[in-house]
Amino acid sequence: MSHCPRGSMSESLIDMSHAKDHVDNQKTRGIGDLRNNSSGRLDTENVTDSHVLVLYTGGTIGMIRNRDGVLVPKANAFVKTLRNYPHLHDKQYAEERFGSMGPLVLPLSAKDNKRVIYKILEYSPLRDSSDMTIDDWIRIAKDIKQSYEHFDGFVVLHGTDTLSYTASALSFMLESLGKIVILTGSQISIFDSRSDGLDNFLSSLIIAANYNIPEVCVYFGTKLMRGNRTCKISTISFDAFDSPNFPTLAKTNIKIEVDYRAIFRSCTLEKFHVHANLNRNVGLLRIFPSITTHLVRACLQPPIEGVVLQTYGIGNVPTNRHDIMQELHAATKRGIIIVNITQCSAGYVSNAYESGKLLQEVGVISGFDMTPEAALTKLSYVLSKEEWDAQTKIEMMQINLRGELTAGRPPYLEDLDLVEAVARSLRISSSTERQELGSILFPAMLNTAVKNRDVMKLEALKRYGANISQQNADGRTALHIACCEGDVNIVCNLLRMGANVHIKDRFNRTPLSDAIEFDHHEIIKILIQSGAHLHGRGYIIGEKICAAAAVGNMKRLKSYELANADFSQKDFSGRTPLHFAALHGKIQAIKFLLEHNVDTKTLDKTHQSPYDLAKVSGYTEAVTLLS
C-alpha cells in the first residue's frame, strides 16, 4: 500500500485495530498509523469491508447527562458507550475478528453486502458548534487528507448551530474530492432514550460506506443534502436542516433512494488535495430599514476584503439611499468584492428591478441563489487564492465551483430524457420502475459505448441523464470496462465527464485494479494523477505482488510501482515479494526490488529471510545479490 504522511496530533485516535492499551489510557496516535496490515484472521464472510472514519468534533449528538441531568461533553466516553449499543456495534463479530479494543462494526443485515467498519477520531477538546472557527475547518480538512487513502467515506459529527458553515467551507477546501464526506449531528443526544441522533448517525455511516456520492453533504432527518446548499431552519424540529434552492441528493425511507443526476462531480484529471489557507477578512452585511451610512462604511473598512450583502427580496436595496450606493461604490473601487444575495430563505437575486441594476452599476456582483453560509465561505476561499488576479476572483465568485449556485438554466433541465421516453413507450408510470429501468439501460449502453470506443455516444448518454459512474449488476462502471480495454482516450474522456476512480465492484475491484491486472501503464498513470490509489487489505495486495515476483513478471511489478505499491508488504505467511523472487531465483525481480530499497532482513513466519530461501533453493546468483 502507498504510504500516507505521519505526524503527531493532539486528538486521541479511538478504536485502532488490535490496540493493546485500554481505551481510557490510549496514547495519542497519528492518523498516519492507519494502514492496512496483515494482522487479524482471514475473513470467511461472503461480504466485503467498507471503512468509514468518523471525526467526532463535539455537539449534542455525543453528550452525556451528568448527575444533575444536564447534557455535557465527556472526553473518551463516546466510543465506550457506543460499544454497548448492539445496533451500532456487532460486539461478537468485532471481538472475534479484531479483539476487544478493535474498531466499531455495524451489524450485518440480510440485505447488506458490505461490512461497515468504522473508527472514531475524537477531538480534544470537544467543541460546541458555536465555538467553531476557520482553524477548526482547517483541522477537519487536514485530518481527512491525512487518512483519505485508508477509508471509503467520512462522517463528521458536529453541533448543529454552525454545521452549514463547516459543510460549505469544506466543500471548497476539499478540492477534486472523490469520496463522500457527511456532516451530521442531532437535536437530542444519541444516548437519550428518544433521539434523532441514532438515525442520523446510522444512516450517515451506511451512506458513507456504500454510495458513490463524491461531495461534502449534510444528513439530517431523512435527507442527504449538498452541504453548501443547506441552512438550519429549526431549533426544535428533527428536520432541522433544509436545502431550499436545490433538491436532496438522497432520501432514506424503507429504501435509500439516490438521485445520481443531482450529484456534483469533479471533472478534472487531478488528485484530491486540500486548500487550507482561507482569507479571514470577510463579513456579512444585512440591509435593514433606516440602516445608517456609518454602519455600512464601518463594515467596508480595512482589513475587510470581501462582504456578502444580504438584500431584500430579489436583490433590492433602497433606491433613494444614494449615501449607501456611494459607500458600496467606493468599496468596490478599492478592490473589495461585494456579493449580493437575498435575505429570503429560498430564491435568488436578479437585476430585474431598478435597485438591482443600481447595485450592478456600482460594482456589486450577483451571488445568485447561494446561501449566506456558502457565499461567505466561498468568498473566504476565493480571496485566499494567490494565483488568481482580482478579475479572476470576481469571475470565480459567479461561477458554479462545487454546486453551490444555480446560474442560468435550472439544475436538472434535460433536453431529452431517454429513460422517460422508454418509460412512456412501455407505459411505465411509477418512479420506482423508472429508476429500475435506468439502472438497466444506462450501464449497458455506457459499457457498449466504451467497448466501441465511441466518445460521442458517451457524451450523448450523459446529456440524456446517464450517471457516468452508474454500476451494473456486478457493480462495474464504464471506467472499469475502459481500464480493462486499455483505451487511454476513452479513460481520459470518462474522467473529464466525472467518472469516479474509487468505485468498487462486487469483487472489490476498482478501475485501478483492472488497469493493473491488464498492465495498462499509461492508464495507471492517469488514474493515479486523478486521485486513484490501491484499495484493499495489505496482505491481499501483498499476495498479488508476491505472485508477480515469484514468476518474474516484470511488467506486473512495474504496474504496481506506478500504482505506488509498498514492495515490502507481506502476504499472510509473512513473506515479502523479495522472499518469492529469491525462492524461485528470479534475478530481474530481485534486482528490481533491491532498487526499490526493500528490506532484505525481513523474516517470514518460519523465520527465514530472502537470503535463506535463495540459499536453500540453490540459486547462487540470488545468494550473491542478497548476501
Contact (CB, 8 A) for 535 and 508: yes
Secondary structure of 534-595 in the HEC alphabet?
CCCCHHHHHHHHHHHHHCCCHHHHHHHHHCCCCCCCCCCCCCCHHHHHHHCCCHHHHHHHHH
Listed as own residue / partner, the contacts of 572-576 with beta carbons closer than 8 Å and 24 or more positions apart are: 572/38, 572/42, 572/539, 572/542, 572/543, 573/604, 573/605, 574/38, 574/602, 574/603, 574/604, 574/605, 575/546, 575/604, 576/542, 576/546, 576/602, 576/610
Q: Does the CA dihedral 92-93-97-100 come out positive or negative?
A: negative
Q: How many residues does the chain have?
A: 627
CA distances from 152 to 180, 181, 212, 232 (A): 8, 10, 10, 28
Which amino acid, one-letter code, is at 266? S
Residue of 57, 60, 162, 377 marked active site:
60
Beta strand ranges found along 268-336 (DSSP E)? 273-274, 282-286, 306-311
| Per-residue cell: 135 | 482553524
Helix, strand, or coil here: 78?
helix
Closest CA to 310 of 342, 339, 288: 342
First to last CA, the chain: 27
Element (H, E) at 182: strand 180-184
- Cis (ω within 30 of 0) for the bond into 86? no
In 264-291, which positions are buried (b, 16+ CB within 10 angstroms) versus exposed (e)?
A: bbbeeeebbebeeebbeebeebebeeeb
Q: Which amino acid is at 18?
A: H
319 is catalytic: no
Strands 241-242, 231-232: pairing is antiparallel
Q: State yes or no: cis peptide before 511, omega within 30 of 0.
A: no
Burial label, 406 (beta-carbon count in 10 A; 0-12, 13-18, 19+): middle
Do 506 and 50 meet the contact criterion of CB atoms below 8 Å apart? no
The string of DSSP letters for 476-516 reads --HHHHHHHHT-HHHHHHHHHTT--TT---TTS--HHHHHH
Residue 175 exposure: Cα atoms within 13 Å on the Cβ side: 14
Residues 112, 117, 121, 126, Cα dihedral to 10°: 40
> String of b and e for 340-358 (b: at least 16 CB within 10 Å)?
bbbbeeeebbbbeeebbeb
Give the integer Cα–Cα distance in Å for 89 and 437: 36
- Which residues are annotated as catalytic? 60
